[in-house]
Structure 1
Amino acid sequence: MLAYLLGRAGVPVTLLESHKDFDRDFRGDSLHPYTLELLDRLGLADKLLELPHERARQFRLHTPTGSVTTADYSRLPTRFNYVALMPQARFLDFMADEFRALPGCELRTGSKVTELRRENGRIVGVQDIEAGVVIGADGRYSRLRRLADLPAESLGARTDLVWFRLPHKESDPPDADVDLFFGRDHYVGLLTGTQGWQLGYSVPKGGYAQARADGVEPIRAFLDEHVPWLADRTHLLTDFAQTTLLSVDISRVRQWWRPGLLLVGDAAHVISPVGGNGILMAIQDAVAAANHLVPALRNGPVRDEVLAAVQAEREPAIRIVQNDQVRIETRAARARELGRPLVPARLLRLITALPGVRKRAARANAYGPNAPVLGT
């Protein structure tokens, strides 16, 4: 997204992708109303939404004591009053095609960054490429972050997820979109999509080896009890080889930049899957970065204060989101230790008693805190 925004503003960009293509299984498939409105402003939303996708209009919690809709996107005053769920690989292919069509923009696939070029204490490019600024947007295991010696500090994730898929059926509840199903010791996150249901079964941090030793039967039993409409297909989960570990992380780099280099997205701050807003935070990083970098790049190499300004603008929002996630993780871990329900019944009653809470929650999740406005 940042490469596209820079190229759209007339800045020559070389975009390096370490893989040969984007044909792999990503975990984040959600495009929030903010992202769709941004794409609409860029003239891309209608074209993107011609591709297969699902539209989630609610976020719901289910516990043994009741269910509640915590966010209702349909109440938002926007044309895009939903979260579009589209395989991330498809979205990346779409953006890559739009980027390549811009003059002065080149996408190199199968291109791994192995070294940073430095002159007089400043990063001036990678390998054989000179650059007015190098952007590290290479995810939670960022190679550029390591090469620049910008370590990420863990903020205390307490949960991991065992991730797998089950097929859709026509008889599935039509209002099931993005749902969390809570038991006493575990929860399952359920996300609809064009390739079936994605499910994440929670285990304590570092508990994947024990869960693997226990096998898939406890997961099937949890689904049969707490998501009974999936019981007619849980037998399809037969082996742990059908699952993958989503190691939940909440971490942040103290300084997102070095002279000549800027980290954005998960490279700078890893967002947990809670709330499904990792892509949203990364897209907003791209918008804020473009606003600062476009005028700076027109005047030569980017000064340190410009890079620092991107972090200063975005870090408060990231702190709010991550602090909320840490609180949720801590409460869930404490509840497990004490043998209490992960979501107390009184919390459900409180949520349902407050007028307008669904709309406010939807807006908070749809746009995030301090959302930047594209100015270029």
Structure 2
Amino acid sequence: MELTEGTLMAQQLDTTVCIAGGGPAGIMAGLILARAGIDVVVLEKHADFLRDFRGDTVHPSTLNLLDQLGLGEAAAKIDHSELSVLDAVIDGIRLRAVDFTILPAPHRYVTLMPQWDLLNMLVEEAQRQTSFRLVLEATAHSEIQENGRVVGIEATTPDGPLRVNAALSVAADGRASAVRDALGLVPADYGVPIDVLWFRVPRPTKPMRDTLANIRGGSALVTIPRPGYFQCGLLIRKGSFPEFQKAGIEAFRNKIAATAPRLRDVTHEIASFDDVKLLSVQINRLPEWSVPGAICIGDAAHAMSPAFGVGINYAIQDAVALANTLVPVLRKKGTDAAAIDAACAAVQRRRTLPTVLMQRMQRVAHRLINRATSGVVLHNPPRLRERFVIAVVLPRVRPILARIVGYGFRPERIAPGILKPRA
């Protein structure tokens, strides 16, 4: 697929909905709106999607939506890994934390696939619709206002300034959203005690069981299996990365090997700290997601932590809720300002509770992880109370975790009548 095909580079565009940000929320919203027959322009600041995304976990909720869009088979052809269970090894004891096999068929697993491949597939489908326009290398930076109402978005492109006039503007440009800032919306921040150091290592020659979390000796390491390698994340105290750099790369390799001994033979592939990326973990949420003529969704509305890998999936569910709510309004009342603003408020009402609940769950997980990196989590052999938790409590909690992690607290489905037949 040629990404530039069908895109426009002009000084001014007129559309019904303008979306800033070509990530999962922006592209999914653009696709559904276009499939509904609504004119939409998506502005993406990069020239393509080939970047090192960290969030590549596609959960059953999103896989079900892809099926609704008729894209299930196309998604299955993307090179990916499937995890039906999420195990954790804590001080040498393997625990099955989440078991997706209890979920309804067909998607009893999470899929790990490159986000750029997922986005390319969605864009290819969207560009089959004449009502969809993607503008690459367009950095959205400010809103256009008339009489106190947002009536579009301004962006910079290699060809100069671009103005997109729209009845509704959507900020889906991530946790550092420039459009959100221009709208004067400030998220409430919820302190997170950890950061994550991301890196990758090849799979060891000796087969290694898929293990999502490794906790040992006061250290916690996430190992996400992908075709041919592991995407890893070492959880550290917030702000402590300079201490690791000062200790040197060999000490870092040794820490990884001590936390996940099966990786000892491949840690030499971490050549320097140039191979290690710092992810500053955030949890925040906007008190108000919208202003007259504009709304924020995805990370622009609520930054999620990497815990449980729900970020992409919650962003996509925001996009579905937006389309379900706005499409009937735009079809019936056109660009009526009051109706659009009321619909935007309805999107926030629908998505706030599931967002709050998941963020609370993530904050609890962070406290547990922080405790894990400060002392013993599980004795080996387990003590009496620990054996009770493993044998009695965990089996009862596991099905609940599978549903919450797999679907979220309010999974969205594309409402009947939203999608027109595929072009």
TM-score between the two structures when normalised by the length of structure 1? 0.94
Counterpart for residue 114 of structure 1? 141
CA contact (8 A) 1:264 1:285 kept: yes
CA contact (8 A) 1:62 1:182 kept: yes
Query: Post-superposition shift, 1:65?
Result: 5.2
CA contact (8 A) 1:137 1:266 kept: yes
* Most deviating of 24-33 and 112-121: 112-121
Counterpart for residue 237 of structure 1? 270
1:317 aligns with 2:354: yes
Cα distance, 1:238–1:36 mapped onto 2, change above 3 Å? same
1:139 aligns with 2:174: yes
Q: Hey, what's the Cα distance between the residues in 1 that align with 2:387 and 2:290?
A: 42
**Of residues 389, 397, 403 in structure 2, which corresponds to 1:350?**
389
Structure 1 residue runs of 4 or more that deviate by more than 6 Å after TM superposition: none
Q: Give, as a single letter, the amino acid of the residue that structure 2 aligns with 1:367.
A: Y
Query: Post-superposition shift, 1:67?
Result: 1.6
Counterpart for residue 370 of structure 1? 410
1:269 partner SS: coil
Query: Post-superposition shift, 1:220?
Result: 1.9
Q: Hey, what's the Cα distance between the residues in 2 that align with 1:251 and 1:29?
A: 21
Q: Hey, what's the Cα distance between the residues in 1 that align with 2:313 and 2:387?
A: 27
**Of residues 87, 91, 97 in structure 2, which corresponds to 1:70?**
97
Query: Post-superposition shift, 1:304?
Result: 2.0
CA RMSD of aligned residues (A): 1.8
Q: Hey, what's the Cα distance between the residues in 2 that align with 1:335 and 1:30?
A: 24
**1:257-336 map, 5 Å:** 257-298=290-331, 299=333, 300=335, 301=337, 302-334=339-371, 336=373
**1:21-60 map, 5 Å:** 21-60=48-87
Give a deviation string over 1:286-344, Cα, whole Å, max 9, x none: 111111111122221453221111011001000001111112223433565xx422567
Query: Mind listing any 5+ residue stretches in structure 2 that lack a counterpart?
Result: 1-27, 155-162, 419-423
Q: Give, as a single letter, the amino acid of the residue that structure 2 aligns with 1:240.
A: F
2:265 partner SS: coil
Cα distance, 1:281–1:348 mapped onto 2, change above 3 Å? farther
Cα distance, 1:87–1:9 mapped onto 2, change above 3 Å? same
Counterpart for residue 189 of structure 2? 154
Give a deviation string over 1:79-110, Cα, whole Å, max 9, x none: 11111110111111111111111121100000
CA contact (8 A) 2:88 2:213 kept: yes
Q: Hey, what's the Cα distance between the residues in 2 that align with 1:198 and 1:90?
A: 17
1:361 aligns with 2:405: no
1:219 aligns with 2:252: yes
Cα distance, 1:105–1:111 mapped onto 2, change above 3 Å? same
1:365 partner SS: helix
CA contact (8 A) 2:289 2:297 kept: yes
1:19 aligns with 2:46: yes
Q: Hey, what's the Cα distance between the residues in 1 that align with 2:179 and 2:109?
A: 34
Q: Hey, what's the Cα distance between the residues in 2 that align with 1:188 and 1:343?
A: 16
1:203 aligns with 2:236: yes
**Of residues 165, 185, 189 in structure 2, which corresponds to 1:130?**
165
CA contact (8 A) 2:91 2:378 kept: no
CA contact (8 A) 2:85 2:100 kept: yes
Counterpart for residue 126 of structure 2? 99
Cα distance, 1:86–1:292 mapped onto 2, change above 3 Å? same
CA contact (8 A) 1:201 1:219 kept: no
CA contact (8 A) 2:83 2:111 kept: yes
Cα distance, 1:257–1:343 mapped onto 2, change above 3 Å? farther
Query: Mind listing any 5+ residue stretches in structure 1 that lack a counterpart?
Result: none
1:171 partner SS: coil
Counterpart for residue 164 of structure 1? 199
Q: State percent identity of aligned pairs.
A: 34
Q: Hey, what's the Cα distance between the residues in 1 that align with 2:405 and 2:378?
A: 19
2:184 partner SS: coil
Give a deviation string over 1:19-58, Cα, whole Å, max 9, x none: 1111110000011111111110110011121111111111
1:156 partner SS: coil
Query: Post-superposition shift, 1:349?
Result: 4.7
Give a deviation string over 1:171-202, Cα, whole Å, max 9, x none: 322x40x5111124321011011351100111
Q: Hey, what's the Cα distance between the residues in 1 that align with 2:56 and 2:390?
A: 27
Q: Give, as a single letter, the amino acid of the residue that structure 2 aligns with 1:185.
A: G
Q: Hey, what's the Cα distance between the residues in 2 that align with 1:224 and 1:115?
A: 47
Q: Hey, what's the Cα distance between the residues in 2 that align with 1:28 and 1:195?
A: 18
Q: Hey, what's the Cα distance between the residues in 2 that align with 1:342 and 1:149?
A: 43
Cα distance, 1:195–1:142 mapped onto 2, change above 3 Å? farther
1:85 aligns with 2:112: yes
Q: Give, as a single letter, the amino acid of the residue that structure 2 aligns with 1:365.
A: V
Query: Post-superposition shift, 1:266?
Result: 0.5
